[in-house]
Structure 1
């Protein structure tokens, strides 16, 4: 393996020796030095060992990015166990399914989060582990943990079942420590605001701490756009990562929030070219890096600095392979394509994941021997993405070749959406298709209703699906059909279905007075439909990013700030209107 391919605890301990009293973590509960984090992590490791956790064990971590969750991760890695992040906002069935699929031995509850009832394994509060752990005086970190699994993250699966990606500790260290456009300096502070179940959170936390930089942890995840802007504008924050969807909104609404950063990393989907040009103009001193990389290649595979872009063309390049990764564009016979010719993008290097948890068949199909390398055991990962290499070696992204798409920064397999919707008793058949592109992409489920259903109810289906799966697997729209169009080979014609929908666009008008008519115009603009009695924002066609836009519209127009969680829970336009009126009244009275 290459340089810096080592265990996470080994790399962190080196930083503790260099600057034990430096602040490593700031979160809503306070701050902790590198030495304090190391001490607490060793106590957690001792407590885990006492509970039978050992190398190869799976430890669930329930929470968000914080001092508690970071200590839980590091303590697990000292033992040689791997962590399985669990999102508190996920439905109980999803959490339970993840715990079962990963054979989690123990769930560590961090901060104020508690394991939902009905989830089977043992669970412990992080702070109790810190208090009870008694590490040996001369205890040292094993030197052979580079190949041990660091974390298992579950991504959308082609069989309709999420697949667990197993990433080794050495790959995470190599990403953090090797020279690349995303490597931090010890003087940086990285904003931690991504949910732990998505791998950018690992970049936020460990690319900072392993080089001696600090992290500032947000108070939870799923923040409003304004709250995110406030955090980005914190004088202590120098580096942040945003999905292209949030990046686009930030450039449109709060460009000053990112103007003070040293570096902004954008990844997880296609960077919107218009906002990229605007950011390059509005924030000329910010090192904006467009990144590409699947979870199977440890967060980042390629990177491209906007400083090197002339702003022409209809897409922002994804750059060149970084931090020990390799990238090849091949044709159907696995031969390198000529410059400018689109082919399949395959990735290599020592930062590849070990494979998929308990799924040797899929691992064998996606992780293959590397014919371009002379190193023994070298592998390639078949991404399913299409790309072209320019004459100068820079890569350009050309979309996916299969049913896996990025929707609002989250990788979603349409088969999994179909599996979730198809399990509803009111559904006989379902086909899910993406519509739109980039940060405006949505998923529409075309449904043939079950024969015994009297009056199919799209709202009811979406509501029931949302009770069982995470929000990103709930289709944005459900459209009923009598039958599906077919191609000449008798397969469902997904393109024909997508053409029935078209691309949903939003208007540009901004109402100026707080009235029912103005709020209805906001609603129409952000959901694509007029308000209807008893229909929620999401039933009307909106999604979480549209809701962020709606909240920001209200704030910019009326001078009031609505809480995302408060607005998220309203059941109808009338309830939302009353919420806005009440907030406006509080502002006047205040």
Structure 2
């Protein structure tokens, strides 16, 4: 399979950029080639963002001298590796000779960066082994594990290698956009018993596909705070399911802590992060790296063999975040400064209190608003820019962009959104764009983020067109309810007025409800993103002979 996937130069500790859809080829590439996978997935990122990741990995060859980049485009003339022994194999007969080492690179995964450029997190084989043998999830030949997360999201590390390195069956989700109904059918039809969901997707599955979860043995959820109400609802309907609240940054290989949620938890309080998984050390420290007492807030630091190598070709940033571990007896051991505020309860469990910096998590994705601000400020006609994560409606956190136009420039929020959508992943494109005459400032001259106004949802669409048919009236009403808007016109684009992939799931479930429900797919919504188009498509679909 490796020979058929792409012509590659196989070098020790190299980076292999193989732009493939989700399939069995992806884990086979990592197993057969003693190198690292890179997440420049054509399906996960727009072309501009994928190009940034490819360029960064290629540059690492010259900077680090031990990393090689390969893509589906012709390689640069000077790859900078400097290895005269490298050669392109004529053919690969059988399996490659095993020459791996625990400290060699396994994959590079890019996360949002506050400087405006994504940063590549380098993870070793030892890091992955710590994850899949962490003692928090029982995996073996009798288990069937769902592979649903994109390979650009570190949860896929648990899904793929948790299954394959423990002899379990890996069940691939259907390719392309997938609704909760599709996911429910996959879980029941393929007898999936173990799965990881983002907290937001977990909520949707509990609300709309609770019966499909009845055969599950273990559900892990996380990426952002888990809803106590939804956790309680799952356990009330299925008391035998093991539910884990998982926590961990990409830099420490997916999971660092987990909390088994039980009926004995206080569901009126936020669910705790729990305790560290096996071979993981959690330290809650003050600014001078001293441990703080139970009940006192401090920065959460993570140690142990799950701590990654650092950031690809970012030595200064690596030194800042991956620091010497004074609590370890291992020479050269490091711990990761997470930037998360936490405290220990009296019983030793850990509570999450928030972020020290501006980093946010939305729908499970870690986002640096500064990266979006830099991309927005770089657009023609934009003088100043700011981006906030707002939660004006409880449980509905959204990115909001604020911009000041340069003198004489006329900026269209829809055009700004389109420009960012061409450069950033969809989860980093703000839901709302708010024009300002000037940025509010604090007394010391910095942007006063607390003074930035909530978006005026009554002015989301200036070209309002009223519904003309009963079907359009119903669709508009459902869109208003799902998006939390006072008014939706038939020509408003769902994704341009605040919609995103998880709200799309909620929208389709609402449209399918009732005796006159319309059974539509995520693909239908992407192809017909306005009320008029989607209502027309739904009507035409019901008239088409089956």
Q: Same fold (TM over 0.5)?
A: yes
Is the Cα–Cα contact under 8 Å of residues 81 and 150 in structure 1 kept in the other structure? yes
Residue of structure 1 equivalent to 2:496? 539
Aligned length: 511
> What is the RMSD of the two structures over their aligned residues, measured on CA atoms?
2.4
Normalising by structure 1, report the TM-score: 0.82
Q: Which runs of 4+ in 1 moved over 4 A?
A: 129-132, 498-502
Residue of structure 1 equivalent to 2:242? 287
Residue of structure 1 equivalent to 2:41? 87
Residue of structure 1 equivalent to 2:80? none
Task: Report the 3-state secondary structure (helix = DSSP H, G, I; strand = E; otherwise coil) of the residue aligned with 2:329.
Answer: coil
Task: Report the 3-state secondary structure (helix = DSSP H, G, I; strand = E; otherwise coil) of the residue aligned with 1:95.
Answer: helix
2:539 is equivalent to residue 584 of structure 1: no
Go from structure 1 to structure 2 and tell me whether the alpha carbon gap of 1:321 and 1:501 turns closer, same or farther (over 3 Å shift). Answer: farther
Equivalent positions of 1:183-582 (< 5 A) are: 183-307=138-262, 309-436=264-391, 440-454=396-410, 456-497=411-452, 515-529=471-485, 530-532=487-489, 534-557=491-514, 558-582=516-540
Shift of 1:388: 1.2
Shift of 1:157: 0.6
Normalising by structure 2, report the TM-score: 0.88
Residue of structure 2 equivalent to 1:23? none
| CA distance in 2: counterparts of 1:61 and 1:323, whole angstroms | 32
| CA distance in 1: counterparts of 2:478 and 2:91, whole angstroms | 53
| CA distance in 1: counterparts of 2:15 and 2:187, whole angstroms | 34
Go from structure 1 to structure 2 and tell me whether the alpha carbon gap of 1:218 and 1:134 turns closer, same or farther (over 3 Å shift). Answer: same
Go from structure 1 to structure 2 and tell me whether the alpha carbon gap of 1:64 and 1:314 turns closer, same or farther (over 3 Å shift). Answer: farther
Go from structure 1 to structure 2 and tell me whether the alpha carbon gap of 1:208 and 1:299 turns closer, same or farther (over 3 Å shift). Answer: same
Task: Report the 3-state secondary structure (helix = DSSP H, G, I; strand = E; otherwise coil) of the residue aligned with 1:362.
Answer: helix
Residue of structure 1 equivalent to 2:93? 134
Shift of 1:449: 1.5
* Worse overlay, 551-560 or 224-233: 551-560
Shift of 1:69: 1.5
* Worse overlay, 192-201 or 467-476: 467-476
Deviation readout 1:193-248 (Å, 9 max, x if unpaired): 11111111111011111011110111225411211121222352110110000000
Residue of structure 2 equivalent to 1:106? 70
Shift of 1:120: 4.2
| CA distance in 2: counterparts of 1:559 and 1:303, whole angstroms | 39
| CA distance in 1: counterparts of 2:438 and 2:295, whole angstroms | 40
Task: Report the 3-state secondary structure (helix = DSSP H, G, I; strand = E; otherwise coil) of the residue aligned with 1:446.
Answer: strand
2:27 is equivalent to residue 70 of structure 1: yes
Residue of structure 1 equivalent to 2:114? 158
Shift of 1:44: 7.0
Residue of structure 2 equivalent to 1:506? none
